[in-house]
Amino acid sequence: MSVYLKHFGLNEPPFSKEIEDTDLWLPPSKKALVDELVEAVEEHASVCLTGDPGVGKTSVLRALRSRLPQAGFRLTYSHNATLGRRDFYRQICLALGLTAPANAGCVFRALTSYVEDLGREHIHPVFLLDEAHLLQQVMLEHLHVLLNYEWDRKALLSVILVGLPELQDRLELRRNRSLYSRLYYRLNIDPHTPQDTADYLQYRLRRAGVQTEIFTSDAVAMLHEAALGSLRDVDRVATAALKVASRRRRKLVERDTIESMLSAVHED
């Protein structure tokens, strides 16, 4: 076990990304978002979800995965957004357990006929497309065909496009309006407040077995400013701060520890 974990009486690295889907931090704002996503897929609607880097978009998808009943939904997750059309559909086929034909048209037909089969079995496919701001333009154009394909009357699948705020800008372009108009739910993860950052730190430290405060309120305020709303940066800076404080044999992470670390980074 690492020295800093022992020093603070932590059972595990508190800010690791390896957190179980069911253990994710879901304050009311994030819970409301997951509720909306569940509602959207239950209505067989499609969604666009945007937010700044590290704000917790992918984690919200993981929370959705753990909320949806296994029976009735078939989720596929893809973060390989830069692929061309054929490889893009191939990876979705593979994720669904289908043997993907080599030819682009055949891949699309195999996928759509499988989606229709699922519809007959009352299983609703949900394609989670992460990093969607990176999708090639040809894919954005084709996605509307996928949502449209023979079934404009009846939604046989939901697409959840997730990405940075520029995804929204791209969707608003005239050439993507027909796809955008099919995304009934347009959700955004707002930047975290200082209180959110404090709650997040406390939540994750409690999960790792520490009930008492380790970060002083000044240190939390500074960490919040430095992370610019990114929980990934909170994780990184908070872990580094715990290590520094442990080396200095301190039981509290105070403002000066965060400060000295940030100024060390800036001097590099």
Ligand X SMILES: Nc1ncnc2c1ncn2[C@@H]1O[C@H](COP(=O)(O)OP(=O)(O)OP(=O)(O)O)[C@@H](O)[C@H]1O
Q: Which is nearer to Mg ion, 57 or 204 (CB)?
A: 57
Q: Which of ligand X, Mg ion, none is residue 55 near (CB under 5 to 8 Å by kind)?
A: ligand X
Cβ within 8 Å of residue 61, ≥6 positions away: 77, 128, 130, 160, 162
Residue 125: contacted member of Mg ion, ligand X, none (CB under 5 to 8 Å, by partner type): none
> What is the helix (H) or strand (E) element at residue 72, kind and residue range?
none
Residues 54-73 that bind Mg ion (CB under 5 A): 57-58
| Residue 55 binds ligand X, judged by CB under 6 A | yes
Per CB under 6 A, does 222 bind ligand X? no
Which CB atom, from 110 or from 132, has the smaller least distance to ligand X? 132
Sequence-distant (≥ 6) Cβ neighbours of residue 143 within 8 angstroms:
135, 159, 161, 179
CB of 260 to Mg ion, least distance (A): 30
Long-range contacts of 233-238 (CB under 8 A, 24+ apart): 233/54, 234/15, 234/197, 234/200, 234/201, 235/15, 235/16, 235/17, 236/15, 237/261, 237/262, 238/14, 238/15, 238/201
Sole binder of ligand X in the list 13, 19, 199, 213 (CB under 6 A): 19
Strand ranges (DSSP E) for the chain?
47-50, 73-78, 124-129, 158-163, 185-188
Contact call for residue 57 and ligand X (CB under 6 A): yes
Token digits of residue 186: 């347009």
209 near ligand X, rule: CB under 6 A: no
Q: To the nearest whole angstrom, how small is the minimum distance from the Cβ of residue 100 to ligand X?
A: 26
Contact indicator for 27, 196 with CB cutoff of 8 Å: yes
Is there binding between residue 125 and ligand X (CB under 6 A)? no
> What is d(CA 236, CA 261) in angstroms, rounded to the nearest whole number?
11
Stretch that binds ligand X, among 18-26, 91-99, 190-198, 211-219 (CB under 6 A): 18-26
Q: Binds 17, which of ligand X, Mg ion, none (CB < 5 to 8 A, cut-off by type)?
A: ligand X
Per CB under 5 A, residues contacting Mg ion are 57-58
Per CB under 6 A, residues contacting ligand X are 17, 19, 24-25, 30, 51, 53-59, 164, 231-232, 235
